[in-house]
């Protein structure tokens, strides 16, 4: 199996630049745990993939290697180059172009799922803490997850068990007893009602959250999603309207938390201990250490990374800590609580998991992966609109839940549309199995459409 690795995951025989001037010449002395596990399983690592600098971006335009062009071949007459999504756009594009069978990415707020949706491939963000982050260059420690991209869900189901193991070197890795308890809860609350080996969905309850169809979403993105829901109902699934009321606050909370953690994590790159050193000009005052490394940081970090470091540093300041950082953490708890209220499977990480009747709750949630199809590559990477691309992906990240983006068809412009399957923490097996059925449904629809043409 040919595997590509995102450029923020350490490999000892290939550079790990994080697409940043700060690490342009860096090669790690060790492999990340996930890379070692792939080697042990016989995978062939074919190369590293471009990404937004340090994983910060939604369009894969913030990179010293240049932007990633979406390889999707649209039937439209419009040949304007489009974004592959970010920050794992290089991984999604490599899979979509057939350059590899599998690619690893990282997902902090949608960086695997958004590119998967834009490029018409499958992308999994696992439950937080299941896949080791040891050897992954940190952006936001409480949000970062190693993700998997492939052309079909079955390949992810084959690769995921290889990487899904406890790692004592990663302090955020979830211990085996907790994983086993989550698996038991899944069997009791869902697999007792629905046969996971069946191709039908009788007994499965799918939640459709009203907040995930905002006014900003393209109508042509909604059409194939609605058609999919009708087909899933035909397979026996019960579709249940659900509400996740804190969703509207999730994006703001995410950017406060992620930026704050980034400002802390990236403080190590001074050009002295770590990172490319750029000497200050001869007339510079070198009596303070901060002035010695300020020049390296100003030249080593790109504009987007500098922006997030500054925002995060402010959020952690005495003047802003209560009103911004602590408030964002409160919102994060509300987002988690919203999900716990609708899922039939209790959250094993909760101190008091809900034991309410699962009859009125849902097994998975489904919603569009993105509010639009892939935007043009030159649509303005400095625009606030780029941050809105993550609207539908950040809630699952804040809650640490498994989320899978699966191709659901194409929009009116001929570009791919993704649908996300989200489950309770630890229900990755369920999410992948439902994703397989969803992909089989959409593939069958596409083949019928091709034959009728």
Q: Is 397 among the residues known to form the active site? A: no
* d(C-alpha 131, C-alpha 145), whole Å: 7
The SS3 assignment for 5 reads: strand
Cβ atoms of residues 165 and 175 within 8 Å = no
- Choosing from 19, 28, 87, 132, the catalytic residue is 87
Q: Is 87 among the residues known to form the active site? A: yes
- Choosing from 58, 74, 83, 111, the catalytic residue is 111
Question: Buried b / exposed e across 296-324, counting CB within 10 Å, b at 16+?
Answer: bbeebbbebbeebbebbbbbbeeebeeeb
* d(C-alpha 336, C-alpha 350), whole Å: 10
Tell me whether strands 364-368 and 205-209 are parallel, antiparallel or unpaired.
parallel
To which H or E segment does residue 185 belong?
A: helix 176-186
Q: Is 111 among the residues known to form the active site? A: yes
Strand partners, 207: 240, 365
Residue 199 burial by Cβ neighbours in a 10 Å radius (0-12, 13-18, 19+):
exposed
Nearest Cα residue to 162 out of 32, 35, 14, 6: 35
* d(C-alpha 2, C-alpha 47), whole Å: 9
Cβ atoms of residues 63 and 51 within 8 Å = yes
Q: For 245, which DSSP code?
A: T
The SS3 assignment for 366 reads: strand
Rounded to 5°, angle at Cα 111 from 107 and 114? 130
The SS3 assignment for 212 reads: helix
| Catalytic (active-site) positions | 6, 87, 111
């Amino acid at each position: 199996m040919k595997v590509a690795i995102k450029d923020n995951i350490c490999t000892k025989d290939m550079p790990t630049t994080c697409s940043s001037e700060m690490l342009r010449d860096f090669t790690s002395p060790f492999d990340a745990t996930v890379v070692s596990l792939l080697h042990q399983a016989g995978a062939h690592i074919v190369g590293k993939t471009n990404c937004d600098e340090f994983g910060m971006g939604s369009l894969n335009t913030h990179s010293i290697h240049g932007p990633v062009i979406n390889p999707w071949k649209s039937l439209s007459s419009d040949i304007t180059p489009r974004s592959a999504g970010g920050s794992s756009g290089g991984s999604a594009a490599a899979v979509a172009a057939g350059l590899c069978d599998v690619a690893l990415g990282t997902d902090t707020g949608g960086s695997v799922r958004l590119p998967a949706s834009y490029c018409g491939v499958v992308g999994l963000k696992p439950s937080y803490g299941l896949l080791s982050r040891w050897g992954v260059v940190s952006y936001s420690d409480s949000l970062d997850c190693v993700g998997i991209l492939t052309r079909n869900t079955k390949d992810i189901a084959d690769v995921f068990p290889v990487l899904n193991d406890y790692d004592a070197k990663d302090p955020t890795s979830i211990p085996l007893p907790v994983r086993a308890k989550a698996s038991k809860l899944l069997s009791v609350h869902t697999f007792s009602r629905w046969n996971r080996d069946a191709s039908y969905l009788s007994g499965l309850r799918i939640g459709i959250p009203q907040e995930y169809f905002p006014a900003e979403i393209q109508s042509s993105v909604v059409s194939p999603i609605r058609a999919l829901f009708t087909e899933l109902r035909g397979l026996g699934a019960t579709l249940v309207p659900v509400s996740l009321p804190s969703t509207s606050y999730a994006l703001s909370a995410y950017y406060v938390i992620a930026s704050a953690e980034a400002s802390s994590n990236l403080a190590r790159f001074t050009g002295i201990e770590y990172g490319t050193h750029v000497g200050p000009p001869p007339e510079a005052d070198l009596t303070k250490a901060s002035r010695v490394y300020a020049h390296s940081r100003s030249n080593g970090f790109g504009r987007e990374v500098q922006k997030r470091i500054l925002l995060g540093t402010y959020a952690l300041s005495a003047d802003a800590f209560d009103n911004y950082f602590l408030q964002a953490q409160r919102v994060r708890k509300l987002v988690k609580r919203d999900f716990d209220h609708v899922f039939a499977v209790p959250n094993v990480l909760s101190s008091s998991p809900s034991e309410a009747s699962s009859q009125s709750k849902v097994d998975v949630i489904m919603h569009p992966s993105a509010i639009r199809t892939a935007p043009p590559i030159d649509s303005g990477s400095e625009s606030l609109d780029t941050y809105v691309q993550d609207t539908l992906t950040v809630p699952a990240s804040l809650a640490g839940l498994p989320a899978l983006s699966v191709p659901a068809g194409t929009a009116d412009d001929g570009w791919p549309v993704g649908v996300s399957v989200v489950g309770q923490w630890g229900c990755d097996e369920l999410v992948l199995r439902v994703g397989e059925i969803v992909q089989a449904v959409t593939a069958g629809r596409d083949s019928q459409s091709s034959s009728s043409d």
